[in-house]
Copies of this chain bind each other. A is one copy, B any other.
Amino acid sequence: MPRIINFSAGPSILPQTVFEQASQAVLNLNNSGLSILEISHRSSYFEPILHEAGQLVRDLLGLTDEFEVLFLSGGASTQFFMTVMNLLPEGQKAAYVDTGVWSSKAINEAKILGSIDVIASSKDANYNYIPKGYKIASDYAYLHLTSNNTIYGTQYQSFPESPIPIVCDMSSDIFSKPIEPHRFGLIYGGAQKNLGPAGVTLVIVRKDMLGKVNKTLPTMLRYETHIQNESMYNTPPVFPIYVSMLTLRWLRDLGGLTAMQKINERKAKYLYDVIDAIPFYLGHSVPEDRSRMNVTFNLEDNSLSKEFQAFCEEAGCDGLKGHKSVGGFRASIYNAMPEEGVKVLAEVMKEFALKHA
């Protein structure tokens, strides 16, 4: 059977070489005679893996020693409230920008535990743009943003000038392009897009963000716990961390984030060019805020949707169904999606439009 081209929004495609290396390690890790699935996290087998994963995160993003890198579990959904618990002192407020379902979830969790203001939103246009030009008061503890919005296909092309540290959910575009780390107080993301398989969450925290909340938290919910124990306070998700390390190695070998950014921009252009050239396809995002990770579009004639999906699947293109809140289609073209895969889809889209012209 030929390999499927997987456009799933996440968990999503990883590099083929990573699948091969991971498969081998499940049988025999580095010729140790042990499976990656059975090694102790306290063993000499795992410690270099965890260390290398952390170092690759630092090197790729260009993090200074001001930042701690943590591999946790629980997903971005757990970070929605851990950020508030750890970063928002009593009596202070945080600012949130609402760019869709995921930032709304972050907002709802923050409201359970603290006091926040939603200072900008693009809800008025079904989140088809990134709000800009709003005022950010300097007395907020932090500004929370969602860098890429998988459902709507919008993405910050640049982050707002902020007088306060940005706390950013980068689940769906981290490692897709260089960032300026000093603008951020905390970055978090579930692994299952650009980093690795589902089951591990990356947290990058600037040390001076911590120590301002006095409340006694459960030990597992304190960032300090995981910093002091180097992500090993409890048993970490060994295999998801291992596969993330392999994926980060692949990214380094490919040239790092600057090289990745160029590839990602080229890939996105193939699809947006089709959308812009053929009125048959209607892009959801306004052009200036278009995501390089998730290309969302509807058909001008919705009644052809089922036929279009079948036509794509016939060509091996899987996972294109859009999220119910936007409808239509979504091509997720994360780091590991090969250019060839995107080209296949672009051709399929042209062909289908021609057929129905």
Residues on A lying within 8 angstroms of B by beta carbon are 1-4, 6, 8-14, 19-20, 22-24, 26-28, 31-35, 37-41, 43, 73-78, 80-81, 105, 108-109, 112-113, 190, 192, 196-200, 216-221, 233-240, 243, 318-319
Which residues from chain B contact A243 at a C-beta distance below 8 Å? 37
**Distance in Å from the Cβ of A49 to the closest Cβ of chain B?**
13
Given contacts A81-B220, A109-B218, contact A33 B11 (CB under 8 A): no
Given contacts A37-B197, A74-B74, A239-B197, contact A219 B108 (CB under 8 A): yes
**Distance in Å from the Cβ of A52 to the closest Cβ of chain B?**
18
**A238 & B2 in contact (Cβ 8 Å cutoff):** no
Beyond the given pairs A1-B32, A14-B35, A237-B240, 14 more chain A to chain B contacts, judged by CB atoms under 8 angstroms and listed by A's residue number, are A1-B31, A1-B33, A3-B33, A8-B43, A11-B38, A11-B235, A19-B38, A37-B196, A73-B74, A73-B199, A74-B220, A75-B235, A192-B235, A237-B237
Residue of B nearest to A5 (CB): B33
Distance A217 CA – B221 CA, assembled complex (angstroms): 13
Which residues from chain B contact A6 at a C-beta distance below 8 Å? 34, 38
Which residues from chain B contact A3 at a C-beta distance below 8 Å? 33
**Distance in Å from the Cβ of A245 to the closest Cβ of chain B?**
14
Residue of B nearest to A225 (CB): B77
**Distance in Å from the Cβ of A281 to the closest Cβ of chain B?**
23
Distance A80 CA – B225 CA, assembled complex (angstroms): 15
Closest 9 A-B residue pairs measured CB to CB? A199-B237, A81-B218, A77-B234, A23-B26, A4-B33, A37-B197, A73-B73, A8-B40, A75-B234
**A8 & B237 in contact (Cβ 8 Å cutoff):** no
Distance A58 CA – B234 CA, assembled complex (angstroms): 27
Residue of B nearest to A238 (CB): B198
**Distance in Å from the Cβ of A113 to the closest Cβ of chain B?**
7
**Distance in Å from the Cβ of A319 to the closest Cβ of chain B?**
6
Which residues from chain B contact A43 at a C-beta distance below 8 Å? 8, 319
User: Which of B23, B41, B78, B319 is close to A198, meaning CB atoms less than 8 Å apart?
Assistant: B41
Distance A57 CA – B44 CA, assembled complex (angstroms): 33
**Distance in Å from the Cβ of A145 to the closest Cβ of chain B?**
19
Residue of B nearest to A37 (CB): B197
User: Which of B33, B40, B197, B235 is close to A190, meaning CB atoms less than 8 Å apart?
Assistant: B235
**Distance in Å from the Cβ of A76 to the closest Cβ of chain B?**
8
**A218 & B26 in contact (Cβ 8 Å cutoff):** no
The listed residue with most B CB atoms (<10 A of its CB), out of A2, A20, A37, A75, is: A37
**Distance in Å from the Cβ of A8 to the closest Cβ of chain B?**
4
Given contacts A19-B26, A33-B3, contact A40 B218 (CB under 8 A): no
A selection of 9 A-B contacts at a CB cut-off of 8 Å is: A1-B28, A3-B33, A6-B34, A8-B43, A10-B235, A14-B38, A19-B27, A73-B74, A113-B218
